[in-house]
C-alpha cells in the first residue's frame, strides 16, 4: 500500500524526492539525535495527486489522524485542547529549496478558547495573544486569500495609536484587539469566518500549502532555477516551539561558515522574543549571532556543537533555523546552504584540506558557472569616491545601474534595455520579478539571511542588504544617504556586493583577481583565498578530464590570451574578419570582377594580408593545433548596405547629378546577390565551389604561412576546415583543390606541408551521412550553432527576440537551445555522426566549435558523446576546463 505520511523518526536525507528537502533533513536531524520538535511529513506524492486530480488521495486524512494522534500522545495534550493546547506549524518543503516561495503557517490549533488556555499554562497572556494574531494573519492571507498588506496596515495603525514603534511593545489587550480586527477584516473580505475548529485549520492549511506549489511566485522561481513543475511539495506538520515567550526566548538563522566568502566561523542573525518568520522578514533588526553568546551562553554552545555535528555529517556548509524557548534550544531546519561562487571554491578547498571530502568531491562542489562569475570585472576601488553607505556584502560582484524603487518599474526599465538597481527597504517574494530584472539589489534592512540576500545569492545577483544609513522612501521613489545625498529614481548608482558598498554614479571596473591569476599566474593578497581555491580546482580538473579544450580565436592577441587561459589549441579560427576593414575594397574588387584576370588580381592582393594573419596566429599557438575555417558567410555581407547605396544614388539623381558609377555597379551586385534566406544560401563550401580562386587563395595563404613558420624554426600545426558541407562530393572537390595548392606551395618553399583537412558537421544531412563524409575528412568539428538552426529550422537572429521568451514561458524550452545543446534532437545527430564517422575512420578526430563548447551542461554532453575536444571563446576556456573535469568524475 502507498504511504502518504511519514513520521520524522522514519525518514532520512536520502528521501528528499518523497519528503522534500525540509522534511528529509528534519528526519535526518531527528535521527542524529538533535533536538527537533516532533512531527510528520505528508509526501510530495500527495501534492502530485492533488495537482493532477484536484483532490487529495483517498485515505490521506486517516493516515494524518493516526500520526497526529501519536504526536498528541507524545505531547500529552491534543491539538487545540482548550486548557493546554498543542499547537503545530504546517510547513511547505519541496525537494529543492525555494526560499520564501511557498507558504508556512504557524500556531495552528489556537482559537477563542485555547488562546486563554495557552495564556494560563504559559503564564503569559501577551504571548498567547501574539501567537493567535499571527495565526489569524497567516491563515487569513495564505488560506483565505486576504491581501497580507491589509493585516499589516491594521497592525501599523494600532502601533501608531499606541504610540509604539516595535511589535514587542504592544500589550496583551492590544493584541487581543488586533485579533478581533483581523477576524472582522477576514469576514469583511471573504464573507467567511476564521475557522475555530483546530482540525479544520489543520486540513485547510495543508491544502493551502499544496496549492501554493502552483502560485505565480513559485512558478516564476522554478522557471528561473530550472526546477521541474511536476515535483510537487511535501508538507511538514510539526509541534510548535516558541521563540516569542519573552527575552529568554528567540529565533535565529545561522550558517556553519560564511556563505559569502566560505571562510570559517559562525555566521547568523538572532532576534530575541520572536517567532521564526520575523527574522527573515526583516521586521525588526536582528543582532549578530555572536550576541547570543552573551545573552544565553548555554544555548550558544549547544548551537555550536550541533552545527559542527551537522557540518561533519553533511560534509558541507549547512544553514539552519533554530528557536530558543525559555532557554531550551530547538533545531527547526537545516540544509546544505546556498553560497556565492567565491564561497563554493574556498569551501571546497578547505573541506578537502580538512579531509572531509576528496579532491574529486571538491571539484564536484564547484561549477563552471561559478568560475565564470568570478571572472567578471570588479570595481576599481582606488578611484572611487566615498561610499554613500555601507551594508552587508550579501552577494558579491559589481553592478552599475539606475536606481528603481519597485519591482514593476525594474521590470519595465529592464525590458527597455536599461540596467537597473532595485532599491527596497527589504524584499519579499513579490519582488522576485524585479530582482530578476535588476543588476543588483540594495536594501536598507535585513542581514545575510534576509530574503534579499538569500534569493540574490541563489541567482548570482549582486546584493548589498541592511544598508541602514540609507533612508529608502519607496513612495517618493528616492533614497537619502546619511550625508544628505538624495538619489532619485533613474539616477545611476554602483553597488559593490563584495565590499558591501554603494556609490553614487558609475564606478569604473577592473579585472577580477581570478582573471589576473589566469593571465599571469598571480593573485592579489586580499583575494588569495579564492584565487588559490580556483587554481586548485583547475589543476584537479586538468588531471582528470578526458576532453581537450581549445579556443575560438581569430587574432594573435586572442590566441595568446586563450593559451594563457589554458587552451590546447584553436578549434575555430574564422577568416571572415580578415576580409573586413581596409581589405573590403579588395573583396569588392573580387566580387565585382568581370574577368578571371581581374578576380585573380584582387585575390593576389588579399593573399599576403591573409598570410600575415595566419603567421601571427600560428606563432601564438606554436606547437598546438590551429583549425582554420575557410570563408563561410555569404559574399554580400562584405558589400555595402542595399538601402544606403540606393539612397546615395537616388539623392545624386535628385540633385540632377550623374550617380557615382561605382555605386551603380555595387548596387547591381548587391541586387544580384540578394538572398531571401542568406543563412541557407550561397555560403560555406558552396562559395568555394562557385567562386573560382577563392579556396586556392586561402589555402595558399595558409600553406605559405605554415612554410614561413617552419623555416623560422617553429612548429605550426594548421588544420584546414571546410564549412557547411552536406555531401561528401562537396568535400572531395574542395579537398582535391586544397591538396593541389598545398603541393604547389610545398614544392615552391621546399618544405613538407602536413595540414589535415576536415569538415564542419553543421547540417543534418552531414550528420546523417557522416560515414561517407569521413572518407574525405580527417577531422569533424560540430558547428552546433548552425546545426541547431538547421535542425530546428529557425534562424537564431530572427527568433531569439521574437518568440523564445514565449517558448520559455510556455515551457517548450527550459533553456534556449542556442545556450545549452538540445540533447534530444541536435544531440542525437551528434551521436549518429560520431558513431558513423568513427566507424568509417577510427582515428577521426572530433570536436565542437559552436558556442555550446563553453556551456557547462553541453560540455558534459560532449564528454559523454565521446568527443576529443571542445572549443569555445577564450574567456570560457577555464570554464570548459573545469566542466570537462567535472564531467569525467
Ligand atoms: P521557509 O521555507 O519559508 O523558511 P519554514 O517552514 O521554514 O518556511 O517556516 C517559516 C518560519 O517559521 C521559520 O523561521 C521556521 O523556523 C519557523 N517555524 C516553522 N515551524 C516551526 C515550529 N514548529 N516551531 C517554531 N517555529 C517554527
Ligand atoms: Mg515559507
Ligand atoms: Mg525555513
The residue to mutate among 218, 238, 252, 277, having the most atoms of ligand 1 within 8 angstroms of its beta carbon, is 277
The residue to mutate among 23, 93, 104, having the most atoms of ligand 1 within 8 angstroms of its beta carbon, is 104
Which residue ranges does the chain devote to CATH 3.30.470.20?
250-336
Q: What is the per-residue pLDDT for 159?
A: 93
Q: What is the per-residue pLDDT for 588?
A: 86
User: Does position 796 have pLDDT exceeding 70, yes or no?
Assistant: yes
Q: What is the per-residue pLDDT for 528?
A: 59
Nearest ligand by distance to the CA of 94 = 1
Q: Whose CA is nearest to atom 15 of ligand 1?
A: 276
Q: Which CATH class is domain 545-631+690-887?
A: alpha beta
> Which CATH fold topology does 250-336 show?
D-amino Acid Aminotransferase; Chain A, domain 1 (3.30.470)
Q: Whose CA is nearest to atom 9 of ligand 1?
A: 104
Q: How far is CA 489 from the centre of its chain?
A: 27
pTM of the model: 0.83
Q: What separation in Å is there between the alpha carbon of 319 and the centre of ligand 3?
A: 10
User: Does position 736 have pLDDT exceeding 70, yes or no?
Assistant: yes
**Nearest 5°: phi and psi at 158?**
-65, -40
Helices 528-544 and 877-887: angle between axes, nearest 10 degrees: 60
Instruction: Band the pLDDT of 635: cuts 50, 70, 90.
Output: confident
Q: List pocket residues of ligand 1, CB cut-off 6 Å.
A: 37, 89, 91, 100, 104, 106, 238-241, 275-277, 321, 323, 332-333
Q: Which of 4-18, 143-157, 525-539 has the lowest mean pLDDT?
A: 525-539
Q: What is the per-residue pLDDT for 282?
A: 64
Whether 755 is a known active-site residue: answer: no
Which residue ranges does the chain devote to CATH 3.20.20.60?
545-631+690-887
User: Does position 225 have pLDDT exceeding 90, yes or no?
Assistant: no
Average pLDDT over residues 423-430: 89
Q: How far is CA 878 from the centre of its chain?
A: 18
Instruction: Band the pLDDT of 283: cuts 50, 70, 90.
Output: low
User: Does position 483 have pLDDT exceeding 80, yes or no?
Assistant: yes
Whether 47 is a known active-site residue: answer: no
Which residue ranges does the chain devote to CATH 3.50.30.10?
376-510
User: Does position 527 have pLDDT exceeding 70, yes or no?
Assistant: no
Q: What separation in Å is there between the alpha carbon of 364 and the centre of ligand 2?
A: 29
Comparison of pLDDT for 797 and 8, the residue scoring more: 8
The residue to mutate among 20, 91, 252, having the most atoms of ligand 1 within 8 angstroms of its beta carbon, is 91
Q: What is the per-residue pLDDT for 220?
A: 84
Q: What is the per-residue pLDDT for 524?
A: 55
**74 grid coordinates:** 507524545
Look at residues 841, 657, 877 and name the one whose alpha carbon lies nearest to residue 731: 841
Q: Whose CA is nearest to atom 13 of ligand 1?
A: 276
- Index of the ligand 1 atom closest to the CA of residue 88: 23
Q: What does the alpha-carbon distance between residue 458 and residue 373 come to, in Å, rounded to a whole number? A: 13
% of the chain with per-residue pLDDT over 90: 72
Q: What is the per-residue pLDDT for 359?
A: 96
Q: What separation in Å is there between the alpha carbon of 359 and the centre of ligand 3?
A: 31
Instruction: Band the pLDDT of 310: cuts 50, 70, 90.
Output: very high
Which residue ranges does the chain devote to CATH 3.30.1490.20?
5-239
pLDDT in tens, 851-883: 899 999 999 999 999 999 999 989 899 999 999
Q: What separation in Å is there between the alpha carbon of 103 and the centre of ligand 2?
A: 4
SS3 652: helix
Q: What is the per-residue pLDDT for 837?
A: 98
**Backbone CA torsion sign across 701, 705, 711, 717:** negative
User: Which among 67, 451, 636, 863 is annotated as catalytic?
Assistant: 451
Q: Which of 64-68, 304-308, 455-459, 692-696 has the lowest mean pLDDT?
A: 455-459
Nearest ligand by distance to the CA of 109 = 1
- Index of the ligand 1 atom closest to the CA of residue 276: 14
User: Does position 554 have pLDDT exceeding 70, yes or no?
Assistant: yes
Q: Whose CA is nearest to atom 18 of ligand 1?
A: 276
User: Which among 849, 860, 863, 872 is annotated as catalytic?
Assistant: 849
Q: What separation in Å is there between the alpha carbon of 462 and the centre of ligand 3?
A: 23
User: Does position 303 have pLDDT exceeding 60, yes or no?
Assistant: yes
pLDDT in tens, 102-124: 788 999 999 999 999 999 999 99
Q: What is the per-residue pLDDT for 523?
A: 61
User: Does position 525 have pLDDT exceeding 60, yes or no?
Assistant: no
Average pLDDT, the chain: 92
CATH of segment(s) 376-510: 3.50.30.10
User: Does position 47 have pLDDT exceeding 90, yes or no?
Assistant: yes
User: Does position 450 have pLDDT exceeding 60, yes or no?
Assistant: yes
pLDDT in tens, 656-668: 988 888 888 888 8
> Which CATH fold topology does 5-239 show?
Dna Ligase; domain 1 (3.30.1490)
Q: What does the alpha-carbon distance between residue 176 and residue 168 come to, in Å, rounded to a whole number? A: 14
Question: Is the Cβ–Cβ distance between 416 and 440 less than 8 Å?
Answer: no
Question: Is the Cβ–Cβ distance between 86 and 78 less than 8 Å?
Answer: yes
Q: What is the per-residue pLDDT for 801?
A: 57
- Index of the ligand 1 atom closest to the CA of residue 97: 2
Instruction: Band the pLDDT of 397: cuts 50, 70, 90.
Output: confident
Amino acid at each position: 500500500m502507498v504511504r502518504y505520511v511519514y513520521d520524522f523518526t522514519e525518514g532520512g536525507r536520502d528521501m528528499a524526492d518523497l519528503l522534500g528537502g525540509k522534511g528529509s533533513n528534519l528526519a535526518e536531524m531527528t535521527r542524529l539525535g538533535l533536538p527537533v520538535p516532533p512531527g510528520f511529513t505528508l509526501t510530495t506524492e500527495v501534492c502530485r495527486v492533488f495537482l493532477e486530480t484536484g483532490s487529495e488521495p483517498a485515505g490521506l486524512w486517516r493516515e494524518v489522524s493516526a500520526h497526529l494522534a501519536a504526536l498528541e500522545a507524545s505531547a500529552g495534550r491534543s491539538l487545540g485542547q482548550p486548557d493546554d493546547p498543542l499547537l503545530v506549524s504546517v510547513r511547505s518543503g519541496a525537494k529543492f529549496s525555494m526560499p520564501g516561495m511557498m507558504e508556512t503557517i504557524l500556531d495552528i490549533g489556537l482559537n477563542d478558547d485555547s488562546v486563554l488556555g495557552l495564556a494560563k499554562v504559559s503564564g503569559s497572556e501577551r504571548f498567547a495573544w501574539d501567537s493567535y494574531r499571527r495565526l489569524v494573519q497567516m491563515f487569513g492571507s495564505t488560506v483565505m486569500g486576504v491581501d497580507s498588506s491589509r493585516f499589516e496596515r491594521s497592525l501599523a495603525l494600532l502601533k501608531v495609536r499606541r504610540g509604539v514603534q516595535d511589535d514587542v511593545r504592544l500589550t496583551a489587550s492590544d493584541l487581543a484587539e488586533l485579533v478581533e480586527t483581523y477576524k472582522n477584516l477576514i469576514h469583511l473580505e471573504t464573507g467567511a469566518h476564521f475557522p475555530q475548529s483546530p482540525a479544520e485549520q489543520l486540513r485547510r492549511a495543508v491544502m493551502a500549502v499544496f496549492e501554493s506549489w502552483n502560485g505565480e511566485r513559485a512558478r516564476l522561481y522554478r522557471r528561473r532555477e530550472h526546477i521541474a513543475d511536476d515535483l510537487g511539495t511535501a508538507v511538514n506538520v510539526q509541534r510548535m516551539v516558541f521563540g516569542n515567550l519573552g527575552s529568554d526566548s528567540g529565533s535565529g538563522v545561522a550558517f556553519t561558515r560564511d556563505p559569502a566568502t566560505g571562510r570559517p566561523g559562525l555566521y547568523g542573525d538572532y532576534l530575541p522574543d520572536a517567532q521564526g518568520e520575523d527574522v527573515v522578514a526583516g521586521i525588526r533588526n536582528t543582532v549578530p549571532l555572536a550576541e547570543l553568546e552573551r545573552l544565553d551562553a548555554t544555548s550558544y554552545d549547544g548551537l555550536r556543537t550541533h552545527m559542527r555535528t551537522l557540518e561533519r555529517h553533511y560534509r558541507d556548509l549547512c544553514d539552519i533555523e533554530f528557536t530558543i524557548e525559555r532557554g531550551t534550544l530547538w533545531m527547526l531546519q537545516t540544509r546544505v546552504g546556498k553560497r556565492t561562487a567565491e564561497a563554493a571554491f574556498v569551501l571546497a578547498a578547505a573541506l578537502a584540506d580538512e579531509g572531509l571530502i576528496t579532491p574529486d568531491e571538491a571539484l564536484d562542489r564547484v561549477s563552471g558557472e561559478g568560475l565564470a562569475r568570478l571572472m567578471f570585472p570588479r570595481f576599481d576601488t582606488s578611484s572611487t569616491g566615498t561610499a554613500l553607505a555601507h551594508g552587508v556584502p550579501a552577494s558579491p560582484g559589481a553592478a552599475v545601474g539606475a536606481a528603481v524603487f519597485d519591482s514593476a518599474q525594474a521590470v519595465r526599465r529592464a525590458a527597455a534595455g536599461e540596467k537597473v538597481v532595485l532599491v527596497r527597504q527589504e524584499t519579499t517574494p513579490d519582488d522576485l520579478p524585479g530582482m530578476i530584472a535588476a543588476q543588483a539589489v540594495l536594501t536598507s534592512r535585513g542581514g545575510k539571511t534576509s530574503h534579499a540576500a538569500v534569493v540574490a545569492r541563489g541567482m548570482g545577483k549582486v546584493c548589498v542588504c541592511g544598508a541602514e544609513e540609507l533612508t529608502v522612501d519607496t513612495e517618493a521613489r528616492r533614497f537619502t544617504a546619511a550625508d544628505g545625498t538624495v538619489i532619485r529614481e533613474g539616477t545611476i548608482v554602483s553597488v559593490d556586493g563584495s565590499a558591501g558598498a554603494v556609490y553614487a554614479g558609475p564606478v569604473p571596473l577592473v579585472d577580477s583577481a581570478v582573471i589576473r591569476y589566469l593571465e599571469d599566474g598571480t593573485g592579489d593578497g586580499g583575494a588569495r583565498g579564492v584565487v588559490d581555491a580556483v587554481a586548485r580546482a583547475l589543476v584537479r580538473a586538468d588531471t582528470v578530464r578526458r576532453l581537450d579544450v581549445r579556443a575560438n580565436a581569430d587574432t594573435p592577441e586572442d590566441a595568446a590570451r586563450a593559451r594563457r587561459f589554458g587552451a590546447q589549441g584553436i578549434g575555430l579560427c574564422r577568416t571572415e574578419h580578415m576580409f573586413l576593414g581596409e581589405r573590403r575594397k579588395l573583396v569588392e574588387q573580387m566580387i565585382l570582377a568581370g574577368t578571371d584576370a581581374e578576380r585573380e588580381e584582387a585575390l593576389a592582393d588579399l593573399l599576403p594580408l591573409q598570410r600575415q594573419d595566419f603567421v601571427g596566429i600560428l606563432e601564438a599557438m606554436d606547437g598546438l593545433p590551429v583549425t582554420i575555417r575557410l570563408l563561410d558567410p555569404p559574399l554580400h555581407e562584405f558589400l555595402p548596405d542595399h538601402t544606403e547605396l540606393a539612397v546615395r544614388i537616388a539623392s545624386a539623381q535628385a540633385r540632377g547629378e550623374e550617380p557615382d558609377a561605382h555605386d551603380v555597379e555595387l548596387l547591381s551586385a548587391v541586387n544580384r546577390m540578394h538572398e531571401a534566406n542568406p543563412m541557407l544560401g550561397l555560403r560555406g563550401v558552396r562559395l568555394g565551389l562557385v567562386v573560382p580562386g577563392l579556396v586556392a587563395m586561402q589555402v595558399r595563404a595558409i600553406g605559405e604561412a605554415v612554410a614561413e613558420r617552419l623555416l623560422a624554426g617553429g612548429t605550426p600545426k594548421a588544420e584546414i576546415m571546410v564549412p557547411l558541407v552536406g555531401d561528401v562530393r562537396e568535400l572531395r572537390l574542395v579537398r582535391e583543390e586544397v591538396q593541389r595548392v598545398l603541393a604547389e606551395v610545398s614544392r615552391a618553399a621546399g618544405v613538407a606541408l602536413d595540414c589535415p583537412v576536415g569538415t564542419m558537421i553543421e547540417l543534418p544531412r552531414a550528420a546523417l551521412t557522416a560515414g561517407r563524409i569521413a572518407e574525405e575528412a580527417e577531422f569533424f568539428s560540430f558547428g552546433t550553432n548552425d546545426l541547431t538552426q538547421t535542425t530546428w529550422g529557425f534562424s537564431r537572429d530572427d527568433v531569439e527576440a521574437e518568440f523564445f521568451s514565449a517558448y520559455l514561458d510556455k515551457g517548450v524550452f527550459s533553456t534556449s537551445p542556442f545556450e545549452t545543446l538540445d540533447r534530444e534532437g541536435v544531440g542525437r545527430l551528434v551521436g549518429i555522426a560520431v558513431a558513423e564517422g568513427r566507424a568509417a575512420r577510427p582515428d577521426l578526430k572530433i570536436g565542437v566549435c559552436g558556442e555550446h563548447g563553453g556551456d557547462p551542461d553541453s560540455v558534459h554532453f560532449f564528454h559523454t558523446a565521446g568527443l576529443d575536444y571542445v572549443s569555445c571563446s577564450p574567456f570560457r576556456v577555464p570554464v570548459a576546463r573545469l566542466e570537462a573535469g567535472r564531467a569525467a568524475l
